[in-house]
Structure 1
Amino acid sequence: MVRGNFRLSDTPVAARPLSVCEVADEGAAVLSSADGTAKLSASLAPDASRLTMTALTGHDRITLDFTLAPDDVLWGGGEQMSYLALNGRTFPIWTSEPGVGREPGTPLTDQASADGSFAGGDYWTTNYPEPTVLCSSGWALSLANAEYVELDASEQGRLRVHVWSGEVVIDLFEGAPADLTRQLAARFGPRQALPDWALGGAIVGLKQGEASFDRLEALIEAGAAISGLWCEDWVGIRETSFGRRLFWDWQWNAERYPDLPSRIAALKARGIRFLGYVNPYLAVDGPLYPEAAAKGYFAKCLDSDEPYAVDFGEFHAGVVDFTNPAAAEWFAEDVIGKRMLDFGLDGWMADFGEYLPTDLRLHDGDPMQEHNRWPVRWAEVNARAVASRGRTGDVLWFMRAGHTGVQAHCPLLWAGDQSVDFSRHDGIGTVITAALSSGLVGNAFSHSDVGGYTSLFGNVRSPELLLRWYELGAFSPVMRTHEGNRPDDNLQIDSNAELIEGCVRWSNIHAHLAPYVRHLVIEAQATGLPAQRALFLHYPLDRETFTIQDQYLYGGDLMVALVIEAGAVMRRVYLPEGEWRHVWSGADFTPGWHDVTAPIGEPPVFYRRTSTFAPLFAELAR
């Protein structure tokens, strides 16, 4: 592991095909190789909902092949950034940094990896992988395993599932895609509601200390609809070669924000909430570190009782050991509870969760098994802190990392650190794929950094990118802007009159859609369907929808086909059966493919003429 980027290798032994079957009892069998050197038990739950396979001969790798029909399409894998359909590729399931560029052979990716850190990433690297697969022929499987898994769909007619464990537990489902999504959502637990206050305009991300408040007032005076101010630098900053980063000690930095308590109270009285930032590590040079170290709350080195220090790029931090119940309780109560919630924060970015190394010692458990569980443990700590104050459903916190089980705790995903560009595998378009793929496995709500985050090697925001990202943010459940890792080098939402005007317009459009989004929140809690939906969830018999990943149904009544290519003023849009009306022109469109005019400010968006929200949608043009 180098700064959250991983490479896994193995020394495999040739697989032993299991060709002999002996019935053990009802619902169970023992499968053996012809020579008897490999043997495992297989048991199926009475209702056929769970398959458990356990090696009986000391093996710690199991590979299962599932037969597919030639035209089956597979989806899943958690939050995937590059491909919604899994066919033709292998997807390692191991939470990590996604990487910069995510396309080896391109300048940005190769430059990011030039120092040997493999920080450029690839199509499969993601903060939130999950061993869950849905099939167009009407079934889904979801592994209960947290160990490393490979989902190999590279060969037509076969899904190969390779697990680094001697036991594999698989939950099985059947039904149409929407039914599978509902069942998976039910398996992972109830969806939390988004706070009503977060739906009524933009959450503006500024990190300029006290100057942030004057900038906020200027946007409000210009007419922007603002629901929150997000200052991730409330804890102070640390300048590094990567850019402006935060000081990882999770409490108010009075030097950077001298009058923050009264500022927060004044904003809240006006209906504007204040949000901050936290992650599950503590900088070794911060005041909270010695307190946690004295209490034994950090993961330890393998050969000593010293806290393990992770290199985060020009500074080191300790890993708060959430397998230790006392450490988890301390972080939830003393850090998030007292220093954040009681201080006045109404939300935060719960960052990271992917970095757990495998060469450390935990209070309980094997880090190879705990690595993928770590984001879930991190989500549990945040949820516990919020619940302890009776504020579940009112506080808005969001994560980028995940694995099976995070759905029950985290109310909102964000798509991570996209590059500030239109690139195919790391730009604005990956946000849509991320929302659609994560929505299939029980995550109801997703959003992104408006404007992107990662600016390296001279790659900076263009006015066009920021204006197009406004459009994306407005048609997301939460619209939140970000200044990025190098704010001084990049355009910001208040850099010029054009960008201010765009922020004003699209924040008001987001606020205008709040009644519809409230409906989607209620619907998600009742049915498990996400707000942003792959088209096939509503049109499972229309194969044209199976691989569309650059447009989405926003609920059941809006079709959103945003522009994600630089310089494009027209895009091709698919409309399934039904009566569709273009939001901006009022023109009616028939089902099928259409080339739709899409100047900046008028992305292709359509609504059902028969929708009960049709009057609300019709007003968007005004």
Structure 2
Amino acid sequence: MDIARGKSCVEMYRGNFSISDEPSGRIIPAKWRRADGGIEFLDAGSPCAVLRIDGTRLQFDVLLPGYDRITVRFHAEPEEVVWGGGEQMSYLALNGRSFPMWTSEPGVGRDKTTELTRIMDEQGMAGGDYWNTNYPQPTFLTSRWLAVHLDASCYSVLDFSDPAAHRVEVWSGCARFELFASSGPLELVSALSARFGRQPALPEWAIGGAIVGLKSGASSFERLERFIDAGAAVSGLWCEDWAGIRETSFGRRLFWDWVGSERSEARYPDLTASIATLAKRGIRFLAYANPYLAVDGTLYEEALAGGHFCLRQDSDEVYLVDFGEFDCGVLDFTREETRDWFAERILGREMLDIGISGWMADFGEYLPTDLRLADGSDAMEAHNRWPVLWAQVNAKALASRGRTGDALFFMRAGFSGVQAYCPLLWAGDQCVDFTRHDGIGTVVTAALSSGLVGNAYSHSDCGGYTSLHGNVRSVELMQRWCELSAFAPVMRSHEGNRPDDNLQFDSSSELLDCFARWSRVHAHLAPYVRHLCHEAQGAGLPAQRPLFLHYPDEPALFTVQDQFLYGADMVVAPVIEEGAEARRVILPGSGVWRHCWTGKVYAPGVAEVPAPIGQPPVFYRPDSAFAQLFAGLEGVLRG
């Protein structure tokens, strides 16, 4: 352990952060002695820090005024593999790298060797890097089946660059750690899930068909009929533009004012009646909200009068954030009155009460560190807590209407404890491509990493989201994303940030047929997904699992992040490389696996499997209780 004084510098631009530190006065205690309730660390013979041990909890406290940096090292064994860190996009195994724990925009490109990342870095620090994530969590698991959790919301760093020590840097004068030990990964993941809270089971409608994302105003209802006529299994229509739109240089943005108004009425006339008509057909309507209000919106003045905004440090003026050519006030969720107001006034009366059954609960990462909060807390400490408070507001709204487990919201932002409130993650804003650090493959890593720390359900924008600087969707990308999304607990499409520049699933009969076929596959698996929901509630196991979770005696599986177990009985190896017609697949364990589309039996081990478009490598255990269900997939896909 060592301690120091810190001097941080934090810059934020549109959710992208640059954070640096100037530590000084570093002390590495050379001696220690037993003291009442713990161990004192000594510098020049005087106590400088104390360690208190309470069962499986450790607490380090700095005893010297002004010292607010603690670095703790945990023993590491040779070849020990480490996972965790919340929802990671680039690496499942964290060895050899450090990961700052700070919720933010993940960046566009996320690879400093690419031209797109370079351009985005020049345009507002927006390129990102491998460690940037909407959902960090200072929890790590190791292949000794141990886990360590830092119980703090301050800025911290998980550093695994030293093979001899797992290093945790904490920007605070105290650090509380929780330790977990189990006989294997299943028990360890279950213990972590119990610690952070388990999600309610997904509603039947959400797993029984695809949610079609369209944002063309009232014509979205007409376009939905094309999907239905093509034979798609449709469970929901998601119109994120329900409250109006705003055109910006980034693309088509939403009008951040979550209330019925002349603007929203013009875009969706008589929305309540349209929602009711869909409901009679067994199709739910989903919308969108986030915890900010545009200064030119209807709700801004109401929120201002209610004292619901965060303020500037130097005055009683509202702290405004530039979200890209429009300014917004940040709702102060440290006030119980504000949490209640948003849950009731907006999510309750404006959304749930008109029949909306779900929404994207977006953002949560943007809390600036130089504003004033009503409860007096330090914004630097509150920043990572913000997604959890945002999740609480959404969960409160569902509970107020008795809709928990029926209506559904999904989030991209998170931090420790969000699991207890957020029923479904989505992987954020991937680029519309196959790139290693920001393309289709990152949603697999996101699901696997977040699942290890207690998030049972994850999904993604089918087709991708971010289209900038000439990067647009290809037919191949759309097809491969459908294949992947069918094997997530929720399948949902998105038109992206620039819908007019990109292919949509109803742009051609070929793409429409592709989406329809894979939506039927997704719907066919609903009984199996219901089984996975029961496992999530009972044992805390995620739906999409790393291979090692059920095969811990195979160390070669510890770093596999491009395929996954869907429950215990399926192996899904999505094609995430452009132009690939085959791929290497690892089939774990000692029993055989059956190929879903040909019925061919494969022995366990490594196989080169044909993977033409429309036939991604998917296998199941012939002795599974769901074998008959899985055997029917080929007919569903071809039917």
- With the shorter chain as reference, the TM-score category is over 0.9
Give matches, 1:219-618, under 5 Å: 219-252=227-260, 253-364=264-375, 365-577=377-589, 578-618=591-631
Q: Hey, what's the Cα distance between the residues in 2 that align with 1:174 and 1:168?
A: 20
Deviations 1:542-585 (A, max 9, x none): 10110000000000000000000000010001011122111111
Check if 1:140 corresponds to 2:147. Answer: yes
1:418 Cα offset (Å)? 0.1
1:251 Cα offset (Å)? 1.8
Secondary structure at the aligned position of 2:478 is classed as: helix
1:74 Cα offset (Å)? 0.3
What is the identity, as a one-letter code, of the residue corresponding to 2:521?
Answer: I
Q: 2:117 aligns with which of 103, 109, 120?
A: 109
Secondary structure at the aligned position of 1:8 is classed as: strand
Q: Hey, what's the Cα distance between the residues in 2 that align with 1:573 and 1:13?
A: 50
Q: 2:127 aligns with which of 120, 123, 127?
A: 120
Secondary structure at the aligned position of 1:232 is classed as: coil
What corresponds to 2:7 in structure 1? none
Secondary structure at the aligned position of 1:581 is classed as: strand
Deviations 1:61-92 (A, max 9, x none): 10001111111000000000000001000000
List alignment gaps of at least 5 residues for structure 2. 1-11
Secondary structure at the aligned position of 1:235 is classed as: coil
What corresponds to 2:162 in structure 1? 155
What is the identity, as a one-letter code, of the residue corresponding to 1:387?
Answer: A
* Mean CA deviation greater in 60-69 or 406-415: 60-69
Q: Percent identity?
A: 63
- When normalised by structure 1's length, the TM-score is 0.98
Q: Hey, what's the Cα distance between the residues in 1 that align with 2:96 and 2:583?
A: 26
1:14 Cα offset (Å)? 4.8
Q: Hey, what's the Cα distance between the residues in 2 that align with 1:17 and 1:301?
A: 38
- When normalised by structure 2's length, the TM-score is 0.96
Paired residues of 2:198 and 2:536 also in contact (CA < 8 A): no
What corresponds to 2:9 in structure 1? none
1:105 Cα offset (Å)? 2.5
Q: Hey, what's the Cα distance between the residues in 2 that align with 1:33 and 1:591?
A: 57
Secondary structure at the aligned position of 2:339 is classed as: helix
Q: Hey, what's the Cα distance between the residues in 1 that align with 2:602 and 2:351?
A: 50
Q: Hey, what's the Cα distance between the residues in 1 that align with 2:295 and 2:135?
A: 27
1:19 Cα offset (Å)? 2.5
What is the identity, as a one-letter code, of the residue corresponding to 1:493?
Answer: F
1:521 Cα offset (Å)? 0.5
Deviations 1:262-313 (A, max 9, x none): 1100100110000000000000000100010111110001111011000001
What corresponds to 1:92 in structure 2? 100
What is the identity, as a one-letter code, of the residue corresponding to 1:515?
Answer: P
What is the identity, as a one-letter code, of the residue corresponding to 1:194?
Answer: L
Give matches, 1:43-82, under 5 Å: 43-45=52-54, 48-58=55-65, 59-82=67-90
Q: Hey, what's the Cα distance between the residues in 2 that align with 1:160 and 1:222?
A: 54
Q: Hey, what's the Cα distance between the residues in 1 that align with 2:441 and 2:602?
A: 25
Q: Hey, what's the Cα distance between the residues in 2 that align with 1:33 and 1:68?
A: 26
Paired residues of 2:89 and 2:445 also in contact (CA < 8 A): yes
Q: 2:39 aligns with which of 16, 26, 29?
A: 29
List alignment gaps of at least 5 residues for structure 1. none
Q: Hey, what's the Cα distance between the residues in 1 that align with 2:174 and 2:482?
A: 47
Deviations 1:220-260 (A, max 9, x none): 01111000000000000000000000000002310100121
What is the identity, as a one-letter code, of the residue corresponding to 1:503?
Answer: F
Q: Hey, what's the Cα distance between the residues in 2 that align with 1:101 and 1:14?
A: 38
Q: Hey, what's the Cα distance between the residues in 2 that align with 1:136 and 1:19?
A: 30
Q: What stretches of structure 1 move > 4 A for 4+ residues in a row?
A: none
What is the identity, as a one-letter code, of the residue corresponding to 1:120?
Answer: G
Deviations 1:14-46 (A, max 9, x none): 531222222123x5221223453x61111111x
Q: Hey, what's the Cα distance between the residues in 2 that align with 1:444 and 1:226?
A: 23
Deviations 1:362-390 (A, max 9, x none): 10111000000000000000000100111
Paired residues of 2:259 and 2:298 also in contact (CA < 8 A): no
Paired residues of 2:88 and 2:450 also in contact (CA < 8 A): yes
Secondary structure at the aligned position of 1:255 is classed as: helix
Question: Is the alpha carbon distance of 1:233 and 1:593 closer, same or farther for their aligned partners in structure 2, counting shifts above 3 Å?
Answer: same
What corresponds to 1:213 in structure 2? 221
Q: Hey, what's the Cα distance between the residues in 1 that align with 2:420 and 2:413?
A: 14
Q: Hey, what's the Cα distance between the residues in 1 that align with 2:329 and 2:510?
A: 44
Paired residues of 2:251 and 2:497 also in contact (CA < 8 A): yes
Q: Hey, what's the Cα distance between the residues in 1 that align with 2:145 and 2:120?
A: 41
Secondary structure at the aligned position of 2:286 is classed as: strand
Q: Hey, what's the Cα distance between the residues in 2 that align with 1:174 and 1:5?
A: 36
What is the identity, as a one-letter code, of the residue corresponding to 1:30?
Answer: E
Q: Hey, what's the Cα distance between the residues in 2 that align with 1:582 and 1:34?
A: 67
Q: Hey, what's the Cα distance between the residues in 2 that align with 1:328 and 1:219?
A: 38
What corresponds to 1:166 in structure 2? 173
Q: 1:41 aligns with which of 42, 50, 65?
A: 50
What is the identity, as a one-letter code, of the residue corresponding to 1:323?
Answer: T
Q: Hey, what's the Cα distance between the residues in 2 that align with 1:13 and 1:162?
A: 15
Secondary structure at the aligned position of 1:173 is classed as: strand
What is the identity, as a one-letter code, of the residue corresponding to 1:324?
Answer: R
Check if 1:15 corresponds to 2:30. Answer: no
Q: Hey, what's the Cα distance between the residues in 1 that align with 2:129 and 2:554?
A: 31
Secondary structure at the aligned position of 1:465 is classed as: helix
Q: Hey, what's the Cα distance between the residues in 2 that align with 1:233 and 1:33?
A: 60
Secondary structure at the aligned position of 2:241 is classed as: helix
Check if 1:188 corresponds to 2:196. Answer: yes
* Mean CA deviation greater in 279-288 or 192-201: 192-201
Q: Hey, what's the Cα distance between the residues in 2 that align with 1:522 and 1:254?
A: 41
1:182 Cα offset (Å)? 0.4
What is the identity, as a one-letter code, of the residue corresponding to 1:123?
Answer: Y
Secondary structure at the aligned position of 1:402 is classed as: coil
1:541 Cα offset (Å)? 1.1
Secondary structure at the aligned position of 2:521 is classed as: helix
Q: Hey, what's the Cα distance between the residues in 2 that align with 1:391 and 1:497?
A: 37
Q: 2:209 aligns with which of 201, 208, 231?
A: 201
Q: Hey, what's the Cα distance between the residues in 1 that align with 2:396 and 2:218?
A: 31
Check if 1:621 corresponds to 2:630. Answer: no
